[in-house]
């Protein structure tokens, strides 16, 4: 090694490296921490028994029958995770998504089964029609339009059926106007005034939902979701969406996706100070998994860095397919 002959000592009043000198020192001044109880594990519930079918584009994520879903929730709870978010994969679809509010459909059955076995686990449900319609759209299609108000009627039916099955939180993800207020009113009228609403308030029209549509079989058969989901270029509009959902009665507001929208998370949190959730979506997960499989990224570090960044931006709640792995990594 080349010798460096220097005796220079800078006269500095501040040396920021002092607080980075050891693991204990770094832990002492760490500003952002993760804990498993802020993670929500999404689960895809399908028909049948003993089914555990891996989603090709999402390694480690499965379509689960109700019995398998209960086992998965049990394992997650053992790792410190307190909540799950259920999506349904029905066997049968139609043009109005009627299985979305069938009391015997996978989601409703899973809610009851989880609540029976693990009553302390918070059960959240995704409220949308796209997994239930044969055309794959989030609402009722009339002509070539996704008709707002008739779609809201159907979403209300789905939300009420989830509440009736015992869901703690319903989470409308459709982005129709007025759905939060309509769901709140319907829940209250039926005696479910303790069922909370987490609205997918600022949900962008994102390429990063690709693998999810693979998992849920919900790719639109024609057109796209640009007339209801938000333009990725907009942030002031996100604040208007969030404001409207809060006025209509949302208890928790969500920004989705997460990593490409950290500025939106920060603005929403700073502006409203409401419980704020961020959805680290399927594409964000699959990108990491793909790079890890190629040996290009260290999974543990990339995963924790991603989730820490989402938390640092202001998310109180992180919905992530990495929930269990992350809980184990920090536990």
The distance of closest approach from Cβ of residue 294 to ligand PBG in the complex, given in angstroms and rounded to an integer, is: 21
Residue with smaller CB distance to ligand PBG, 102 or 126: 126
Site string for ligand PBG, 208-237 (x = CB under 6 A): -x--xx------------------------
- Which residues are within 8 A (CB) of 228 and not within 5 positions of it... i.e. 6 or more apart? 138, 139, 146, 174, 175, 176
| Catalytic-residue membership of 77 | no
By the rule CB under 6 A, 138 interacts with ligand PBG: yes
Site for ligand PBG (CB under 6 A): how many residues?
10
Applying CB under 6 A, does 282 fall inside the site for ligand PBG? yes
Cβ pair 267, 202 in contact under 8 A: no
DSSP 315: -
Over its C-alpha atoms, the chain yields an Rg (Å, rounded) of 22
Name the token pair of 222.
């024609």
Residue 289 designated active-site:
no
Interface with ligand PBG, residue 107, by CB under 6 A: no
Choose which of 69, 73, 76, 128 interacts with ligand PBG (CB under 6 A): 128
Q: What residues contact 302, with CB distance under 8 A and at least 6 apart? A: 288, 291, 292
Q: Are 255 and 265 in contact (CB under 8 A)?
A: yes
- Residue 51, classed as helix, strand or coil, is coil
Peptide bond into 16 cis (omega under 30): no
If one asks whether residue 278 binds ligand PBG (CB under 6 A), the answer comes out as no
Looking at the Cβ atoms of 151 and 308, the one nearer to ligand PBG is 151
Per annotation, catalytic residue among 14, 77, 93, 256: 256
Candidates 45, 160, 281, 323; binder of ligand PBG (CB under 6 A) is: 281
Nearer to ligand PBG (CB atom), residue 117 or residue 221: 221
169: left (phi over 0), alpha (psi -120 to 50) or beta: beta
Task: Give the residue numbers annotated as catalytic, written as ranges.
Answer: 203, 256
Could you list the residues that contact ligand PBG (CB under 6 A)?
126, 128, 130, 138, 173, 209, 212-213, 281-282
């Amino acid at each position: 090694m080349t010798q460096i002959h220097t005796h220079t000592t800078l006269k500095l009043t501040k040396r920021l490296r002092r607080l980075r000198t050891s693991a204990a020192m770094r832990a002492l001044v760490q500003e952002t921490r993760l804990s498993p109880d802020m993670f929500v594990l999404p689960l895809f519930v399908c028909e049948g028994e003993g089914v555990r079918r891996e989603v090709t584009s999402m390694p480690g994520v499965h379509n689960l029958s109700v019995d398998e879903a209960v086992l998965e929730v049990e394992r997650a709870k053992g790792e410190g995770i307190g909540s799950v978010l259920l999506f349904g994969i029905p066997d049968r679809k139609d043009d109005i998504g009627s299985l979305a509010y069938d009391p015997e459909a996978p989601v409703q059955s899973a809610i009851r089964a989880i609540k029976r076995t693990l009553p302390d686990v918070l059960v959240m449900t995704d409220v949308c029609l796209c997994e239930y319609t044969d055309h794959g759209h989030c609402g009722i299609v009339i002509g070539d339009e996704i008709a707002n108000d008739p779609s809201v009627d159907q979403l209300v039916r789905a939300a009420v059926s989830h509440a009736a099955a015992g869901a703690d939180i319903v989470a409308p993800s459709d982005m129709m106007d007025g759905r939060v207020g309509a769901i709140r009113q319907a829940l209250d009228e039926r005696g479910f005034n303790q069922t909370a609403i987490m609205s997918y308030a600022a949900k962008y029209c994102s390429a990063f939902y690709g693998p999810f549509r693979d998992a849920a079989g919900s790719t639109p058969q024609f057109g796209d979701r640009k007339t209801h989901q938000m333009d990725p270029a907009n942030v002031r509009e996100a604040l208007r969406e969030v404001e409207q959902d809060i006025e209509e009665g949302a208890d928790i507001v969500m920004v989705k996706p997460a990593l490409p929208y950290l500025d939106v998370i920060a603005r929403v949190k700073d502006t409203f100070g409401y419980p704020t959730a961020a959805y680290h979506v399927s594409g964000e997960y699959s990108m990491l998994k793909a790079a890890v499989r190629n040996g290009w990224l260290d999974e543990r570090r990339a995963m924790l860095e991603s989730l820490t960044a989402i938390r640092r931006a202001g998310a109180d709640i992180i919905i992530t397919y990495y929930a269990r792995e992350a809980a184990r990594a920090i536990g």
